[in-house]
Amino acid sequence: MPKITVVDDNKTNGKLNNGWGFSCLVEQGSNKVLFDTGWDGQALLENLEILGINPKTIDILVLSHQHWDHVGGVPHMLHAAGNLKVYVPSSFSPNLKKEISIHAEVAEVTNACEIIQGIYSSGELGEKTPEQSLIIKGKSGIFVITGCAHPGLSPILEVASSFGKIVGVLGGLHSLDEIQLLENMKYIAAGHCTRRIEDLKSLYGNRYTPIYAGYSIVF
Instruction: Output the pTM of the full model.
Output: 0.98
- Domain locations in the chain? 3-218
Domain 3-218 has CATH 3.60.15.10: yes
Residue of 144, 188, 158, 166 whose CA lies nearest to 26: 144
What's the rounded Cα separation, in Å, for the pair 130 and 184? 26
Question: Residues with Cβ < 8 Å from 43, sequence gap 6 or more?
Answer: 8, 17, 18, 19, 73
- So what's the pLDDT on residue 1? 84
Mean pLDDT by 10 residues, the chain (219 residues): 96 97 96 98 98 98 98 98 96 98 98 98 97 96 98 98 98 97 97 97 97 95
- Cα 52–chain centre separation: 19
Radius of gyration of the chain (CA): 16
What's the rounded Cα separation, in Å, for the pair 14 and 196? 24
- So what's the pLDDT on residue 68? 98
The β-bridge relationship of strands 113-116 and 134-138 is unpaired
The β-bridge relationship of strands 113-116 and 105-109 is unpaired
